[in-house]
Amino acid sequence: MFIRILISSLLLSGALSLVSFSVPQRGNAIGTPSFGELFNVVETPNKRGATVLEAPVRQDGVKLYIAIDSDSFNYKERPGNGGIRLLNYKSTQDAIDDAVRLAMGMTRKHDMFRTGFSGAKVVVDTDHANLETIDREALMKDAASALKALEGQMYTGCDLNTSDEDMDYLVEATDDKFVLAGRNSRVDTNVATASSVIGSILGVLDCMDDTDFSELTFTVQGCGKVGSTVAKELVARGAKCVQTCDLLMEATKIPGCTSIEDWTNTPCDFLVPCANSLAITENVAINFPDGLKYCVGAANSPFSSVEARLIFDARGVMHVPESISSAGAILADSVEWYDINLYQNVQPELMYGWIRDQSKAKASDLVNKADKTAKSVQAVIGDVVPNRSGDPVGKDFPEWIKENTMKTDTLIVGGGVAGTATAFSLGQRGIKTVLVEKGKSVAPADASSNGDSRMYRKMYSSEFFSRMQSQALERWDDVEKESGEKLLQENGLLFYGEDTGETVEGSVLGAKQVMENLNLPHQFYATGDAIAEKYPALSGCKGKDYSGVCEDTAGHIRASKACHAMVKAAGDTCDVHINSKIVSLDVSDSAVDGEYTVKAVKQDGTTIQAKNAVLACGPWTNDVLQMASLPRIKLDIWMVQWAHYEVDTEIGASIPQAFHFKKENGIDGGLYYIFPSSATESLESKDGKSYVKVGVDFPTFEALNSMDDFNYEGSEDVLSLMDAWVNEHLPQVGKRINAYTSPYTMTEDSYFIMDKIAPNVAIFAGGSGRGFKFGPLLGDCMSSLLHNEDGPVDLKPFSLEREALKL
């Protein structure tokens, strides 16, 4: 990380060989230092523009060098700043050369953003091939002696092969002084550096009108702390392919990435060097596969020579220098230097967001000034470097936080059916909302509300839910009118099968009884033969001891489309943030001054202040509750599988929407459903073929407590059960063409949760596979909770206080 070194003007001129320093407190002007005998000057500035000091080390085979770029150094105003690097160099001269090169590189970084520092570096050269044999504690004590001799004019932190544990030793040995390494802060300087890489990538792509990540292939060379963070972020941003390469193949195994062995011979659009310096040699630059457009990374001095860089320039490879793309840690350090209290208490994502913005703006400015031409970058790089005089960049951070803070009445976390319905309901009241969804859209593919179809029905074993559906249908009509979208399609629903008793979906006989009690129109079939006669496609019912009940006015809801429609109907009252993850949530009375009692920070560094919050996070509910320091809820997460099957179009039109009940048998939970071809509109019918959707309403494997263990691939055994069910019940249906696994959030009693979990926070959870059909009515319930009004339905059955939810 970083070193702060203040050395006399005489030393910097190369006139003297031994120095010691007298240093005031951080930020004060510094008087002329005196000299002592601790340091040996091994190189003066008149050779290469840098001073190199050697400090004593009390273990064999280890040498410690400090390099300061004399051109930028001003012991009164621009203290030196760089990190401690530990390496087994080929020779002492190689170590000294590296120290000088890195110190000058640090100057370029500090100047690029006017951090208030000059360039410096500490290099530890060792004869130990195995770095684990070095006594780290003793080494850090020796480094501390040098720091103490400099009396506070030198600050350091992690760099290559030094760790947080090393910094712990150093802090202890210096009495908690002289270390700028994110001490007592949640800011991770590796993530800070990765943030500057990502920001620079975004800046380049914005300028080059090449912003569709799904069309780009990235190669991340080096998968240490920085490289792996960059790779994960690129995956999260939807890159077409992220290739990872490292000397340790195990390090390349990052979710969503493709491991490669040789980065120099693997084509890509975007090279992201995050490993050793000087990796891009002339030979690599000449022979790198065609198609490379960009080179932006975290490696210090990625090119082995000017000639290597010129080859990339000639090939049209747009390169952003590491003084911009790898500046995250020094930007963080500028804040730490400017306001140590802010640095130690700030939410890390605010820091990372600021760093991304700083790097993005600087990279964009550079590419524009170069007229988007690779060969022109070096000629104009000086044009984006600010004057060394002026306030350090870290002083801008508090203002950036203010500029990136938005205020709203209600924060909605989660863009599934409950979240979008709440936005719709509050929007009808004219109440402003911000809806934050971590997925790529509302109703994202990895959550519960995604897909072509969900059933709606009054045919329940519970009169309460049947009446609730009637109310919900009126509100669905409002959504259709407000959005201009057709969302509900009436196609009837058949319950049929064995007398199972009550299940999570009710039962045939229980539904029949409710339909009779409420005088709702229905047809009853007493035998399997009667069912098969009415529905020839269900010929597998013949001879079975089945009964059935049909509600002709039931149908299906276009699920994903409905979530989008509710947001559309909310209009300007709802500000939707997709691809946005909440990383900090404070709902305490002291969260924000005044009426805004909810404070959330998104992963991009944006702060949201709100008067209220609605949590509608589905299977991620307990993660969000934990983040907000609210009590966890007893919820199970089911992995529920479904698939599409091919069928002749004529036969597909005759297949009813149906739910089949049979008794459990081992892993077979006995509950199967089918949607007709009219409910699978995302699959285009062609060549006389259409598709039906078949799924189960029982969990694959045991219920989960966290999405960390969720397996979207599901179980082949369950798919085999589905295939067998189709063959038995729908013999004219063809092959399975795909398969999906979705998360269902379940409560023990299969009732939802709709309640206040804090004075300013309402929660919806535990949809239990039946929540979607009530959509906009759920939003009305959440709206009434926020405003302390009686709900449109009795909310007592959905209370957090009920026995089924107690942990």
Whether 304 and 340 map to the same domain: the answer is yes
Residue 39 belongs to domain with CATH number: 3.40.50.10860
Would you state the pLDDT for residue 14?
34
Which is more confidently placed, 19 or 51?
Answer: 51
In a domain, 473, yes or no: no
- The CATH number assigned to the domain holding 700 equals 3.30.9.10
Give a yes or no: residue 674 inside a domain. yes
Mean pLDDT for 383-404 is 93
Contacts of 667 (CB under 8 A, 6+ apart): 715, 717, 718, 721
How many residues are there in the chain? 807
Res. 291 pLDDT band, cuts 50 70 90: very high
Which residues, 6 or more positions from 114, have their beta carbon under 8 angstroms from its beta carbon?
Answer: 386, 387, 388, 390, 391, 392, 393
Q: How does DSSP assign 452-513, residue by residue?
A: S-EEE-S--S-HHHHHHHHHHHHHHHHHHHHH----EEE--EEEEE-----BTTB-HHHHHH
- 217-221 sheet: strands from edge to edge: 258-259, 241-245, 217-221, 270-273, 294-295, 318-319
Are residues 646 and 680 in contact, defined by beta-carbon separation less than 8 angstroms?
no
Q: Is 618 left (phi over 0), alpha (psi -120 to 50) or beta?
A: left
**Residue 178 maps to a domain:** no
Whichever domain contains 214, its CATH number is 3.40.50.720
Instruction: Write down the pLDDT at residue 613.
Output: 97
pLDDT at 487 > cutoff 70: yes
Task: Please give the pLDDT value at position 3.
Answer: 31
Instruction: Report, as an integer, the average pLDDT of 777-798.
Output: 96
Instruction: Let me know whether 640 and 695 are in one domain.
Output: yes
pTM: 0.81
Confidence (pLDDT) at 797? 95
Domain shared by 795 and 651, yes or no? no
Would you state the pLDDT for residue 32?
34
Choosing from 721, 746, 771, the residue where a domain stops is 746
Residues 6 or more apart whose Cβ sits within 8 Å of residue 310: none
Lowest mean pLDDT among 227-241, 414-428, 590-604: 590-604
Distance CA 86, CA 124 (A): 5
**Are 623 and 652 in the same domain?**
no
Pair (330, 283) in one structural domain: yes
Work out whether the CA dihedral 582, 768, 495, 701 comes out positive or negative: positive
Mean pLDDT score across all residues of the chain: 90
Q: Based on the fold, state whether residues 273 and 195 are members of the same structural domain.
A: yes
In a domain, 459, yes or no: no
* Residue 375 confidence (pLDDT): 94
Q: How many domains does the chain divide into?
A: 4
Q: Map residue 321 onto helix, strand or coil.
A: coil
Give CA angle at 252 (251, 254), nearest 5°: 100
Q: Is 25 a residue whose pLDDT tops 60?
A: no
Compute the 3-state secondary structure of the chain and give helix, strand, coil in percent, each to the nearest 5.
Answer: 40, 20, 40
Do 627 and 708 lie in one domain? The reply is no
Q: 591 falls in which pLDDT band (50, 70, 90)?
A: low
Assign residue 114 a region (left: φ > 0; alpha: ψ between -120 and 50; beta: otherwise).
left
Residue 793 in this model has a pLDDT that exceeds 80: yes
pLDDT of residue 181: 66
Which whole number is the average pLDDT over 257-270? 97
Do residues 628 and 775 both lie within one domain? yes
Domain containing residue 773: CATH number:
3.50.50.60
pLDDT band of residue 211 (cuts 50, 70, 90) is confident
Are both 350 and 378 inside the same structural domain?
yes
Q: In this structure, are 293 and 216 located in the same domain?
A: yes
Question: What per-residue confidence (pLDDT) applies to 592?
Answer: 59
pLDDT of residue 590: 61
Q: Are 129 and 204 members of one domain? A: no
Range of the domain at 527: 493-552+636-746
Classify 375 as helix, strand or coil.
Answer: helix
552-578 per-position pLDDT tens digit: 999 999 999 999 999 999 999 999 999
Task: Indicate whether 31 pLDDT > 60.
Answer: no
CA 257, CA 106: separation in Å to the nearest integer?
31
Please indicate, yes or no, if residue 462 is contained in any of the structural domains: no
The pLDDT-based confidence of 77 (bands split at 50, 70, 90) is confident
Q: Do both 252 and 377 map to the same domain?
A: yes
**How far is the C-alpha of 334 from the C-alpha of 386, rounded, in Å?**
15
Euclidean distance between CA atoms 377 and 154, whole angstroms: 34
